[in-house]
Amino acid sequence: EEKEEETCSFTVPNYACQRRTQLHHHNPSLSDALTLLAENAELNEDDGRAVAFRRAAAVLKALPAEVTSVSQLKGLPCLGEHSLRVIKDVLKDGSCSEVETTKHSQRFNALKVLTGIFGVGVKTADRWIRDGIFNLQQLRESQTTLNRAQQAGLDHYEDLNQPVTRADADSITEIVQEAVSSLFPGAQVTLTGGFRRGKMTGHDVDFLLTHPEEGREEGLMDKVVSWLDSQGLLLYQKTSRNSYLESRDGPGRPSSNMDRFERCFAIFKLSRGQTSPPAGHQWRAVRVDLVVTPISQFAFALLGWTGSKLFERELRRWAGHEKAMSLSSHALFDKTQKRYLRASSEEEIFTHLGLSFIPPSQRNA
């Protein structure tokens, strides 16, 4: 019998890009449960379900206090029947059977391990599982042909699945900064991704490179990558113009936010002194993404590469559904006026979109 609780209900706006979401919030056990189900849906290519769980998790992250009763959630957006059931279970028992079953299922764990290999997406992982490959040892022992990215991913699996620390990110920033300023005086290096949002660890380090004079960024990537390579700092690199080919989504899977920047997926070799390698090792491998953008697109690229992924998705949904605009990491197009809207800062983009500015540290939806 549920006693009528003192209902302090919450209100939260509909879109994650209308909300301030700090890294640390009041409902981690609820958001973790929903995030695990989102991850499972992503691993099974059920994007609709994945986004529904991600949105629900994001609403809980934005609440100003801990939820103690489902009654407090009445009227909140993005909380479907399924998500509410999960929340109810966790509030009542501290866990949810669907989450626990998923967490311990062979398929979920195999998909996690295999897609945890750089260069391996869900399609490849699923095919391997159907061939009876569930873990790294079975993959190594099988006759499976790996592409260059996957081979590097497998070779450096341990390191690449160790969180990258803020100190690692800072020391890589210094290296990239040094390379860029000696090769291309005036060019600028900006740390983006999770570290720009204030995260203390990440799965990779993301950089945007640009030059304040339009066009002068051309040739920057090749020079920087050659220099890094000549210094023995790269274990792997693949530079591409116009693709999303080896992102975490896996080879050949275009994404909705596919972009056309010159981009380098790299694995850096960080030595002792630049990082703290595992005991007994002289160095560690770290994933680094470099993206070059012309200055005219820089603000859009910065907004697009800072994340979180859900925040980005919600910005594009807001733009499309509420403003008849189309936002990408390159530009903002107003479909009513049939023209591109220029911006030289993130603040201007939020203004064009009719949104209050949300600083990077509050985009952790």
Instruction: Identify the residue among 119, 153, 193, 360 touching ligand DGT (CB under 6 A).
Output: 193
239 in Cβ contact with 226 (< 8 Å): no
Through-space distance between the first and last CA atoms of the chain, rounded to whole angstroms: 35
CA distance 225 to 265: 10
Q: Are the C-beta atoms of residues 31 and 60 closer than 8 Å to each other?
A: yes
Q: Please say which residue, 212 or 254, places its beta carbon nearer to ligand DGT.
A: 254
Least distance to ligand DGT, CB of residue 85, Å? 28
Q: In the chain, where do the E strands start and end?
A: 164-165, 188-191, 201-202, 205-210, 234-241, 262-271, 283-292, 325-327, 332-334, 339-340
How many Cβ atoms are within 10 Å of 336's Cβ, its own excluded? 8
Window 278-307: residues binding ligand DGT (CB under 6 A): 304-305, 307
Q: Which is nearer to ligand DGT, 36 or 67 (CB)?
A: 36
Phi, then psi, of 66 in degrees rounded to 5: -70, 140
| Residue 199 binds: one of ligand DGT, Mg ion, none (C-beta under 5 to 8 A by kind) | ligand DGT
DSSP E strand boundaries for 82-192: 164-165, 188-191
Question: What span, in angstroms and rounded, lies between the C-alpha atoms of 241 and 169?
Answer: 24
Active site residues: 204, 206, 289
Site for ligand DGT (CB under 6 A): which residue of 127, 309, 321, 339?
Answer: 309
Which of 42, 126, 168, 259 binds ligand DGT (CB under 6 A)? It is 259
Q: According to the binding rule CB under 6 A, does residue 199 interact with ligand DGT? A: yes
**203 is a contact residue toward ligand DGT (CB under 6 A):** yes
At its nearest, how many Å lie between Mg ion and the CB of residue 289? 7
Q: Which of residues 171-200 bind Mg ion (CB under 5 A)?
A: 193-194
Return the one option of ligand DGT, Mg ion, none that residue 305 interacts with (CB less than 5 to 8 A, by type).
ligand DGT
To ligand DGT, the closest distance from the beta carbon of 315 in angstroms equals 10
Helix axes 122-130, 28-43, angle to 10 degrees: 70
State the nearest-atom distance from the C-beta of 330 to ligand DGT, in Å.
Answer: 8
The window from 27-35, 84-92, 193-201, 331-339 that contacts ligand DGT (CB under 6 A) reads 193-201
What does 217 interact with, of Mg ion, ligand DGT, none (CB < 5 to 8 A by kind)?
A: none
Lay out the sheet containing 262-271: strands in order across: 188-191, 205-210, 283-292, 262-271, 234-241
Interacting residues toward Mg ion by CB under 5 A: 193-194, 202, 204, 206
